Structure 1
């Protein structure tokens, strides 16, 4: 059977999607978002390195944390931060995982909790959408995120899962517009990829 018509149709669909995301500004959004976070992340890493050299040894710090606080406490704090707008950089917790006796296990737990935190944020968005006053407030505060997820759907969730963009915000916006939950779960799995890449490239725990 000649598959060329199917291949041509597939190529045409990919080309149309590419044109759509180009015209609607998706690529410009990703470029702009990366540009906004590259400098802060670079400064954050340099700052950590300087603090490690001149102020406190992070090995000693995280060793102290692991002996002072139980993993349950640390992981609970992480889940809370990932569910509420992601205010604490996950890199700090990845660094903590790297100093434990079983770094890959705790890294996997962190990735799962981040994924779970996104799901919690998604349902927070759905719950808020049922309260008129709260919905009106969030529609104003998150107008940009809601507009983008209506426009780009799953691709924005993919970007939020992979890149240093607040995943909780994207998840809340998805819940507010009642984005299909099954698709959200699928695209959100890329959160695991981000955590393993960060650990491999930045903290080298493998």
Structure 2
């Protein structure tokens, strides 16, 4: 097979994937998710900025935290949060990293812990899939996530890794349906991209 034939086959596969994701509503889902998130995120950033200006200087707050608490404690809390449905917004910890002596180092640690937290959630999902009663309960509670990851697989993991939606939920759903672990690890690496992109904004704000 010559190179031109290979290119045509590749383009055909890409076209088929594009059609599939269009027909199954993946693009509409991403657009809807972004639309729903833009306003809350904007409001959250505005509130933070107002609190920073009018109530408490976050520079002083995070500097105080870095001198009061051992980084291990803060990183442990962050890992627990990322492993348990993302209870605390990662942006707060990114802002904390900016006030440490080595911001990029701690930012990288946060990104790694978020990635590992997702892996923990993935295996939690796999473990739950072997518990019929718990699985039946979560299958109802997480019906939307499970349905989407069955349809879109790796692309939904990419969305979960990049967008400000709970990455842990996506990871648990992937584990529940026994999604291929190697592919999960590969797509999940985009979690690092999200942290570095957010840091560009947050490091300049606070």
Q: For structure 2, list consecutive stretches of 5 or more residues without a partner in the other structure.
A: none
Could you tell me how far apart the structure 2 residues matched to 1:49 and 1:15 are?
A: 44
1:84 — aligned with what?
84
Shift of 1:201: 2.7
- Residues 140-172 of structure 1: CA deviation (Å, up to 9, x unaligned): 000000000000000000110011111000000
Could you tell me how far apart the structure 2 residues matched to 1:70 and 1:41 are?
A: 29
1:45 — aligned with what?
45
1:185 — aligned with what?
185
Contact 2:121 2:171 in 1 (8 A): yes
Normalising by structure 1, report the TM-score. 0.97
- CA root-mean-square deviation: 1.1
Shift of 1:61: 0.3
Q: Secondary structure at the match of 1:169?
A: helix
Does residue 75 in structure 1 map to residue 39 in structure 2? no
- Residues 105-129 of structure 1: CA deviation (Å, up to 9, x unaligned): 0000000000000000001101111
Q: Secondary structure at the match of 1:130?
A: coil
Shift of 1:204: 3.3
Does residue 125 in structure 1 map to residue 125 in structure 2? yes
Q: Secondary structure at the match of 2:86?
A: coil
**Map of 1:49-198 to 2, 5 A cutoff?**
49-198=49-198
Shift of 1:3: 1.6
Q: Secondary structure at the match of 1:200?
A: helix
Segments ≥4 residues shifted beyond 4 Å: none
Normalising by structure 2, report the TM-score. 0.97
Contact 2:21 2:27 in 1 (8 A): yes
Could you tell me how far apart the structure 2 residues matched to 1:61 and 1:101 are?
A: 15
Shift of 1:202: 3.3
Aligned residues: 205
- Residues 158-200 of structure 1: CA deviation (Å, up to 9, x unaligned): 1100111110000000000010111101110110010001001
Q: For structure 1, list consecutive stretches of 5 or more residues without a partner in the other structure.
A: none
- Residues 41-67 of structure 1: CA deviation (Å, up to 9, x unaligned): 101111111001000000100011111
